[in-house]
Amino acid sequence: MRTRILAATIVFAACANASLVVTDNFFIKRYNYYTGDFYNTFHPTENNPKGVTASSTNVYVAMEDFPYPESFDLTGGNHQVVTPLVYSQDSTGAAIGPDGNLYIGYGNGVIAYNPATGVPTTDAADGFFFANTNVPVTDIAWGGNLLYVSEGIFGEVYNLAGQKVNGWTGNFPPFLHMQGLAFHDGALYATDLQVSGARILRFGDLSNLNNYTVLSNDSHLNQPYGLAFGPNGMLYVANMGSHSVLRFDGTTGAFVDTFITGLQFPQFLTFTETADPTPEPGSYLLMGCGLLVLARVGRRLRAPR
């Protein structure tokens, strides 16, 4: 029996429905996370959509100029105002917790509620997951069962019961303004708008959040706000000063490229949950959403000579 390759093609392909969602001044824009191709625009009720998070079916957005967060159906783009029983204007951060609840950072606190009904959870009075002291929340991120909350030069850490378990101050290290937060592979990452140059910080020792390393202070960073790790392990940053989304190596912090350009004032971003596409018959899918290798294998039986 002789086996031969009839055709072999190597292409770069993105996962079906894999998308990067960016809040951009007046709109929420959706892109193919791998190629950067534009998908569609979601139109919120008011301006200034801020923090954004996603489930497998919906995108949820914290609204600065509207008293309620909003959601959009990923399949059809249907718009729904998620109406909690608690007023939440000046919202910034958004994250889905390990309990499936939607958490919105706003003003001086965080609200937790059922994303399907808009009803606040009952584990805290009046729907407040916690209330802090006169410092507006800039972003929130879940790491395991702990909620990390950035308040500019301060930060706090809460458990699922709403109890404060840790925190950090702006005295040491010298933060100017920690804006975006992301949790990845057991470490906390943040953007910091330093006077001497913007930075991306990595907190590897979660027991002492006053210690950090600088993952990147690349010159391309110009008013970086939200950040998120993509399915490919790269770090994506909403770079408001250059109206773009930048990509960095998620391990070394090295600048990779300017991934999306032409935005107005990008502030936060997230990735939708997706599944790998089903390979075509006679093909093999390698590296998940990265390198797709297609090969047709033909078999030919030959009679003995």
* Structure confidence by residue, pLDDT tens digits, 103-123: 888 777 888 878 877 777 755
Is pLDDT above 70 for 51?
A: yes
> Domain ranges in the chain?
19-281
Distances (CA, A) of 154 to 206, 221, 237: 15, 22, 21
Q: Which of these ranges, 72-76, 151-155, 215-219, 275-279, has the smallest mean pLDDT? A: 275-279
pLDDT grade, residue 155 (50/70/90)?
Answer: confident
Is pLDDT above 70 for 280?
A: no
* Structure confidence by residue, pLDDT tens digits, 122-144: 554 444 565 554 567 889 999 99
Pick the CATH number of 19-281 from 2.60.40.3670, 2.120.10.30, 3.50.50.60, 3.40.50.800: 2.120.10.30
Under 8 Å between Cβ of 83 and 68: yes
Output the pLDDT for position 170: 57
Output the pLDDT for position 152: 76
Closest CA to 135 of 74, 82, 178: 178
Under 8 Å between Cβ of 157 and 174: no
Q: 17: Cβ–Cβ under 8 A, 6 or more apart, which residues?
A: 74, 272, 274
Closest CA to 13 of 234, 286, 220: 286
Q: Which of 37-51, 167-181, 267-281 has the highest mean pLDDT?
A: 37-51
Backbone torsions φ then ψ of 189, nearest 5 degrees = -120, 150
Q: 241: Cβ–Cβ under 8 A, 6 or more apart, which residues?
A: 222, 223, 224
The position carrying tokens 């290290």 is 173
Under 8 Å between Cβ of 91 and 68: no
Residues composing the chain: 305
* Structure confidence by residue, pLDDT tens digits, 7-36: 433 333 444 457 999 999 889 999 998 899
* Structure confidence by residue, pLDDT tens digits, 222-253: 999 999 999 999 999 999 999 999 999 999 99
Is pLDDT above 60 for 198?
A: yes
Under 8 Å between Cβ of 94 and 104: yes
Bridge partners, residue 266, by sequence: 24
Output the pLDDT for position 279: 34
pLDDT grade, residue 46 (50/70/90)?
Answer: confident
Q: Whole-angstrom Cα distance, residue 115 to residue 71?
A: 9
* Structure confidence by residue, pLDDT tens digits, 59-68: 999 888 777 7
Under 8 Å between Cβ of 181 and 189: yes
Q: Using the 8-state DSSP alphabet, how is residue 175 labeled?
A: -
Q: Which of 37-41, 42-46, 123-127, 215-219 has the highest mean pLDDT?
A: 215-219
pLDDT grade, residue 85 (50/70/90)?
Answer: very low
pLDDT grade, residue 215 (50/70/90)?
Answer: very high
The residue among 276 and 232 whose pLDDT is bigger is 232
Under 8 Å between Cβ of 223 and 178: no
